[in-house]
Amino acid sequence: MTGKEMYSRVWNLVCVLLILSHGQASIERGFSVNKEVSTQNLSENSLIACRVIKDHIKSVGGLKGLVVSKELLQSAQVTRQKYHTHLEAQKTEKEREKKCMKRRLVEEEVGTLRKKIKMLESDIKLLFTDANKASDKADELRSFAPITKANTMRRRAKDKEEELEVTKKELNEKVHLLNNI
């Protein structure tokens, strides 16, 4: 390639490419190491700790040059205790959040049941009022049609009263559950 003139431009390009700095090589090696070390559950702090340990082992000349002192062992024990304390705190926090969520759901159900009870009570009152008006109208007109209408309204009111009793029992159960959460 060096002796032929038709390859002279290509030779110059090859020379320039071969001279390029490998200044990023150490950073690239770091990425390689991170890729080898990283797993699904490895957090950023754990990755940093692994890198610090690896760099220290390299700086003392490998595993044979590593001195395991009493202070290092005590530090590892304290760190492990802190880790377990952290795990317990996370577990407690999750349980607390779960209780709060359950409480919130029960409170929403209690609110819904209270609204339903108010609606049922107003419906019952309205049905009995309308039934009484229909009975009075039947007396005035001396007709049976308003009486049948009044009886139908009273039956519907009694059905609503039964539904109201069931809803009140359900509300009492939910309030009791809410008090125990």
128 within 8 A of 151, measured Cβ to Cβ = no
| Chain-centre distance for alpha carbon 77 | 33
The helix-helix angle for 145-180 and 70-141 (nearest 10°) equals 160
pLDDT tens-digit map of 47-68: 788 788 888 888 888 888 888 8
Helices 25-37 and 44-59 pack at an angle, to 10 degrees, of 120
For residue 33, name the pLDDT band (cuts at 50, 70, 90): low
Average pLDDT (16-30) is: 64
Higher pLDDT, residue 140 or 15: 140
Q: Mean pLDDT score of the chain, rounded to an integer?
A: 85
Predicted local confidence at residue 142, as pLDDT: 84
User: Between the ranges 53-57, 71-75, 106-110, 137-141, where is the mean pLDDT highest?
Assistant: 106-110
